[in-house]
C-alpha cells in the first residue's frame, strides 16, 4: 500500500495509493497503541487518532461492507474489474474475539441464500494469519487425548459435561468419524450446560488455578508447558469476560502463541478466536 503522503504523479502508471476501510469494533486497541490506527493515519484515511477510540481492523479489498477506494474515490473493484477472491486485514486486538467458525464454500452459498441478513455473501472464509507482533490465538479442537487429560485433571470442567459425552471422549476409537462424533457430543454438552452450573464451576476453577499459579504451588516444571499455558489463558480470559463460562474454551481448543513472522492457517468449519 502506498502512502498518500509520498504519492507522486509520476508514479501513477505504476503505483496507485489505496484507501483502506477501518473498523472500530469494541475489542480493538485504542489510540496510537493500535497498529491499525497508525497505518490508517499513514495512509491518509484519518487525519488524527482519537486516543479513546478502538481501532480494530483495517480492510483492503472489494468486500461491500468495507470497499477499498483510490484517492479520487474510485472503488478498487472497478479498477480490477470485479471482486477480489480474498480480503486482506490487519487486526489490532485489545481483548479476545468471540469464538467463530466460517462455513465451507457450499455451506456459505446455502446460508447466504437462506439467511442473507446474517450471511452477507456466499464466500467461504478460510484464513491465513501472519503475526506482526506476538499474537495469541485459539484454533481448532485439541486432540482427544489432551481433552481426556484435562477432563480428568479439572473436575470443574468435567462437571460441565454430561457423562455420555465424557464416555464418548474416553472410549473413542481411532476412526475419524468416531472422533468427530465424540467432539460434537462434547462441544454440544458443554455449550448446553445450565448457566447456574457452569458459573459455579467456573468460580471454583478460577480459585484453584489462581492458587496453583502462586509461589506456594509445586514447581511449574512438574506439569507440561501446554497445560500451564492453558491454565494461564483461562485466567486471562476470565479477567476480560467475568462470569462467562467461555473462559474455559482453552480446555477445548488449541492455544497458540506465535512470534512476529510466524503464521497459521485456519480451514473452513474450524473454530477459532484471536
DSSP state of 227: H
Closest residue by Cα to residue 141 from 150, 152, 154: 150
Cell 462434547 identifies what position?
186
For residue 103, what pLDDT is reported? 87
User: What pairing do the DSSP bridges indicate for beta strands 54-55 and 29-30?
Assistant: antiparallel
For residue 218, what pLDDT is reported? 55
For residue 207, what pLDDT is reported? 95
What pLDDT, in 10s, does the model give residues 96-143?
A: 988 888 888 898 889 888 988 888 778 888 999 999 999 999 999 999
55 close to 76: Cβ distance less than 8 angstroms: no
Domain boundaries, the chain: 4-137, 143-251
Closest residue by Cα to residue 196 from 158, 240, 146, 160: 160
Do the two domains 4-137 and 143-251 of this chain adopt the same fold? no
For residue 14, what pLDDT is reported? 72
Q: Which CATH architecture has domain 143-251?
A: Orthogonal Bundle (1.10)
Give the bridge partners for 256, in sequence order: 137
Query: In angstroms, rounded to a whole number, what is the distance separating the alpha carbons of residues 152 and 161?
Result: 12
User: What pairing do the DSSP bridges indicate for beta strands 57-60 and 54-55?
Assistant: unpaired
CATH topology of domain 4-137: Jelly Rolls (2.60.120)
The stretches in the chain having pLDDT less than 70 are 1-13, 215-222
User: What pairing do the DSSP bridges indicate for beta strands 263-266 and 272-273?
Assistant: unpaired
Give the bridge partners for 23, in sequence order: 57
Closest residue by Cα to residue 218 from 226, 229, 228: 228
Rg (CA), the chain: 22
Query: In angstroms, rounded to a whole number, what is the distance separating the alpha carbons of residues 256 and 262?
Result: 11
Amino acid at each position: 500500500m502506498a502512502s498518500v503522503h509520498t504519492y507522486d504523479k509520476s508514479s501513477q502508471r505504476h503505483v496507485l495509493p489505496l484507501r483502506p476501510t477501518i473498523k472500530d469494533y469494541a475489542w480493538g486497541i485504542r489510540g496510537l497503541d493500535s497498529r491499525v490506527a497508525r497505518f490508517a493515519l499513514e495512509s491518509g484515511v484519518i487525519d488524527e487518532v482519537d486516543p479513546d477510540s478502538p481501532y480494530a481492523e483495517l480492510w483492503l479489498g472489494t468486500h461491500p461492507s468495507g470497499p477499498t477506494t483510490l484517492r479520487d474515490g474510485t472503488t478498487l473493484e472497478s479498477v480490477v474489474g470485479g471482486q477480489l477472491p480474498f480480503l486482506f486485514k490487519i487486526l489490532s486486538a485489545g481483548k479476545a474475539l468471540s469464538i467463530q467458525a466460517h462455513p465451507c464454500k457450499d455451506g456459505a452459498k446455502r446460508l447466504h441464500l437462506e439467511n442473507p441478513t446474517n450471511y452477507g455473501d456466499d464466500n467461504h472464509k478460510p484464513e491465513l494469519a501472519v503475526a506482526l507482533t506476538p499474537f495469541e490465538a485459539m484454533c481448532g479442537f485439541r486432540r482427544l487425548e489432551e481433552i481426556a487429560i484435562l477432563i480428568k485433571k479439572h473436575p470443574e470442567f468435567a462437571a460441565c459435561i454430561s457423562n455420555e459425552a465424557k464416555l464418548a471422549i474416553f472410549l473413542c476409537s481411532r476412526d475419524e468419524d468416531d472422533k468427530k462424533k465424540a467432539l460434537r457430543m462434547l462441544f454440544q454438552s458443554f455449550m448446553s450446560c445450565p448457566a447456574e452450573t457452569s458459573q459455579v464451576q467456573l468460580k471454583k476453577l478460577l480459585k484453584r488455578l489462581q492458587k496453583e499459579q502462586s509461589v506456594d504451588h509445586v514447581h511449574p516444571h512438574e506439569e507440561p508447558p501446554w497445560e500451564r499455558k492453558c491454565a494461564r489463558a483461562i485466567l486471562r480470559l476470565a479477567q476480560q469476560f467475568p462470569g462467562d463460562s467461555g473462559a474455559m474454551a482453552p480446555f477445548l481448543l488449541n492455544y497458540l502463541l506465535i512470534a512476529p513472522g510466524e503464521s497459521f492457517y485456519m480451514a473452513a468449519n474450524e473454530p477459532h478466536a484471536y
